[in-house]
Structure 1
Amino acid sequence: MGEGRVKQGWIRSHQSGLAALYRLLDGLLILGTLIVSCNLLGVTVSKDWVIAGLVAAVSFAFVAESLNLYRSWRGDSYLHMFSITALSWIAVCVLLILVGYFTKTAESFSRLAAGTWFFTTLTLLSAWRYGFRLVLFYLRLQGFNSRTAVVIGTTDSGKRLAADINGEPQLGIRVSGFYRVPGAESDEQAWSQNDRERILGDLEQAVAAAKAGELDLVYIALPMREELRIAEILHAFADSTVTVHVATDLFVNNLLHARFYQVGSSSLLSVHDTPIEGINSWLKRLEDLVLSSVILLLISPLMLAVAAAVKLTSKGPVIFKQHRYGLDGRPIKVWKFRSMTVQDNGDNVVQAKKNDARITPVGAFLRRTSLDELPQFINVLQGRMSIVGPRPHAVAHNEQYRALVNGYMLRHKVKPGITGWAQVNGWRGETDTLEKMSRRVEHDLQYIRNWSIWLDIRIVWMTLFKGFVGSNAY
């Protein structure tokens, strides 16, 4: 069991690295096909051709991302992938034609070479995706890049769903069994002995397994008339970071990141999912590396000055390392300049308040201006945090509020950030009421639902003007 998880986990941990090839190969393919097409037709690759190729490569990257081409296609058909690929490239071709027409530069290009380039590029963009898809299918058939799933509900539709998923091993999803839902409709009595042996327990045990990190995917398969019970199940799994799918056409409010897809004859709705996976996770990591490196270079003199001020004005270490929950609820250590005379890092952490006696004079200034958080750019380089994301809370506060605020743990579907959507919208600093924490979590989940590179850039820009200081920061 342990060896199997390591074998699967190695490929899974590098899945985003494999997905990063999509964007790189697309750009190289577009430029390479342009050069080959021109050379085969005896057309000189002039500066204008190179500019057209670069514009095409950059435009395709933006259009493809906007159409959600760079995501996991594990459960989708190749026809859908091809249609999005074709639509993205056709949009780029139309753009190039319009630019050539309105700038009156179309005469500088060979129509035959351009047409050959357009058609050949579309063919190759589609063909290499198909080939790469086959490679992934083969790896999943060998047991790599697989995920463990369970079905909630002992219904015939759930049994059919499990059969559909297990009947397509190239998806890399293994349904280990079923969990009963007390009081819900069940077809268990009509199941065969073999099917009943696959029942692993009840809903409470499933939630416990999800919280323990033993499950990757959960499929809820209950009748539509069980709407209230399904809502209760979603509420229960919101206290974990497992990805939840609903095998009905039930309309669910307040989805984290939802999309419909098909597995065999079963229609699924992804509920507690994240958009920051695959190529998107690499894009966000690249964003973090570039921004944190540049920022650290610029603020290094300031950090040295702050470190000296902390050391000279109070006893204790310069850097305070506090335990927090990171991606998927895993524990991390977040660095801050020490701003208090005591260091709360246990099971009972008292949040800083106005005129808090524990805060040093220098610390008060650091906290009001967010200068105490500058060392977290080092956490970003380490990969523990991101520039933009939900602010990390003390472990004690997580345990307190996860029981009070529905969906609280879903904030941990992405890396914690130095700044975030909640902070730039005024929900920064002390959360002395449940309402304040609820509003912060609400904004954090809005960020995850609507994440994009452009949203990150917008938040960074807003932070420069109103994210560093605030009336709630003590």
Structure 2
Amino acid sequence: MKRSALIIPASILIHLLIVNGTLFLFTPDTYLQGLNALYYNFSWLLITSALDFYPTKRKENFFTNIHKMFNLYTLFGLCYFAIFGFGTTVAISVVYHIKILLIIFLLLTIYRVFFYWALRKYRFMGGNYVNVLAIGRDKNLKKIRRVFDDPYLGYRYKGFFDDSPSVSPTYLGEISKCFDYITKNDIDEVYCLASKFSQSELQRLIDFADNNLIKLKIIPDNKEVFTRSMSLEMYDGIPVLNIRRVPLDTDYSRVIKRIFDLIFSSLVMIFVLSWLVPLMYILIKSESRGPLFFKQKRHGYKKRVFWCYKFRSMANNSESDSKMATKNDMRVTKVGKFIRKTSIDELPQFINVFLGDMSVVGPRPHMELHTEGYQTSVDKYLVRHFVKPGITGLAQIRGYRGEVEKKSDILNRIRLDVLYVEKWTLGLDLRIIYMTAYNVFAGEEKAY
């Protein structure tokens, strides 16, 4: 079946079967009481409709809208317990009902994984496909072809029309011939390069698509400014391109990351710093005079200055705010050499995380002097300040940490910092934390 119109209805039905089946098996007393069953189904359908949970875009995968899944589980859980507030003749155990909800959510998540796996397989085998063609040709079309050529997405690319003749095997002829071709070849979607048309020509194409049940998608003239972090926003019906969309701009993402930071930093302070601070005090003070903690002004979120804390690993010196540690640096003490090698010196920064100046994961904060220098000499350097700095980051686990020995070191570091800013997910943070711990035990060449 080409259009597979039953995919979404089938998913809705399976979700309801999971919810109703689990509740009937494990909580028959409450499920069968009064209109409870009807309430559960109505709540599920209302919440999924409000969240626009079911419409599935062709490029969507398990992780694309995972936040909607968590929002759905949270809201349905609240609705589930809300009904008990209206009175029930059945004695309930809150803990037991929480376990039942967790079973439901686990089964729904497993089905979600299976759904996207099966859908990709189905498209690979020839189902749920759409016929597409392009009108106009430039390098943007070449990039879009990579999407069309993915067999798991279900696109069947027929070719392109353009007034400039081409020897490409997918060239179908001049633009004037496209209308006849579209009607005779059951085309579902047409991708049009806006730069190839005048306003009147584009309007004619829009009218043709509307009158022939064809989805028309317009590729704007990018003027060489498109980026992978760009998003489209609507202002009273006017499309506006947001060139720098940061995942952590959303309230949901910021709250999730902040909760994770608070929990993680609290655990470290309670179970590690509580006994490590006294031990470090004895070791550091026994070798050299000076404070236990080294603090330094560094730039954080939106270039705001904050005090960054570390265990002091050097003897007191006048270059601490201008010169990074180098290999065999004479300023580093014996204890300092060990704690720098094992990254123990960075652990007090969990206090910065708890206070909200830093995050567990993010671009490493630089001292003020270096920020002022790099922001004028390194392209896109300040993009890293769209998020909070971190104790560890993507650049650090890729080996770009510590001393900047050559220009490529800072360029690659900033490239990875910008990539992190653009592609942040909680899963990425967890992978970075895992690799950081692995590198601590495996040893790092530039940990000095």
Normalised by the length of structure 1, the TM-score is 0.51
* 1:390 to partner: Cα distance: 0.6
Residue 283 (structure 2) aligns with: 309
Indicate the structure (1 or 2) with the bigger Cα radius of gyration.
2
With over 3 angstroms needed to count, the CA separation of the structure-2 counterparts of 1:372 and 1:34, relative to structure 1, is closer
CA distance 1:36–1:91, change in 2 (3 Å): farther
8 A contact 1:427–1:440 mirrored in 2? yes
Q: Which structure 2 residue ranges, 5 or more long, are not aligned?
A: 1-67, 117-193, 197-219
Corresponding residue for 2:79?
33
For residues 333 and 59 of structure 1, the distance between their equivalents in structure 2, rounded to whole angstroms, comes to 46
CA deviation vs aligned residue, 1:298-323 (integer Å, no higher than 9, x gap) = 21323321222111110111111101
After superposition, the Cα gap between the structure-2 partners of 1:252 and 1:445, relative to the gap in structure 1 and judged at 3 Å, is farther
Secondary structure of the 1:412 match is helix
Aligned residue among 302, 309, 320 for 1:328: 302
Cα distance in 2 for partners of 1:471, 1:364 equals 13
Aligned match of 1:261: 233
Residue in 1 aligned with 2:356?
383
Residues 92-144 of structure 1: CA distance to partner in whole angstroms, max 9, x if unpaired? Answer: 9x99xxxxxxxxxxxxxxxxxxxxxxxxxxxxxxxxxxxxxxxxxxxxxxxxx
Give distance in 2, aligned partners of 1:254 and 1:443. 19
How many angstroms apart in 1 are the aligned matches of 2:81 and 2:311? Answer: 53
User: Residue 465 in 1 paired to residue 434 in 2?
Assistant: no
Match of 1:195 in 2: none
Matched, 1:274 2:246: yes
Partner-residue secondary structure (3-state), 1:406: coil
Aligned mates of 2:262, 2:228 — CA distance in 1: 26
Partner of 1:319: 293
Instruction: Pick the aligned partner of 2:401 from 420, 424, 428.
Output: 428
Q: Which amino acid aligns with 2:243?
A: V
Q: Matches of 2:230 and 2:299 in 1, distance apart?
A: 24
Contact (CA 8 Å) 1:386, 1:415: kept in 2 or not? yes
Aligned pairs for 1:330-345 within 5 A: 330-343=304-317
Across the aligned residues of Structure 1 and Structure 2, the Cα RMSD in angstroms comes to: 3.9
Structure 2: which amino acid aligns with 1:53?
L
In 1, are the aligned partners of 2:342 and 2:440 still within 8 Å (CA)? Answer: no
What is the aligned partner in structure 1 of residue 157 from structure 2?
A: none
User: Which residue does the alignment assign to 1:161?
Assistant: none
Gaps of 5+ in 1: 1-21, 64-89, 96-222, 226-247
What is the DSSP-based 3-state SS (H/G/I as helix, E as strand, rest coil) of the residue aligned with 2:294?
Answer: strand
* In structure 2, C-alpha distance between the alignment counterparts of 1:383 and 1:23, rounded to whole Å: 28
- TM-score, length-scaled by structure 2: 0.54
Deviation at 1:392, TM superposition (A): 0.7
Distance 1:439 1:296, change over 3 A: same
Q: 1:252 to 1:275 in 2, by over 3 A?
A: farther
Instruction: Give the match's secondary structure for 2:77.
Output: helix
Structure 2 counterpart of 1:440: 413
When residues 264 and 375 of structure 1 are mapped into structure 2, their CA distance, relative to the original with a 3 A threshold, is: same
Distance 1:258 1:283 in 2: 22
Q: State the alpha-carbon separation in 2 of the partners of residues 258 and 318 from structure 1.
A: 45
Distance change in 2, residues 1:256/1:350 (3 Å): farther
Determine the structure 1 residue equivalent to 2:260. 287
Structure 2 contact 324–402 (Cα < 8 Å) conserved:
no
Matches within 5 A, 1:125-274: 249-250=221-222, 255=227, 257-274=229-246
CA contact (8 A) 1:256 1:448 kept: no
Letter in 2 for 1:263: Y
Sequence identity of aligned pairs in percent?
34
- One-letter amino acid of the structure 1 residue matched with residue 359 of structure 2: S
Shift of 1:460: 0.8
Partner Cα distance (2:354, 2:242) in 1: 31
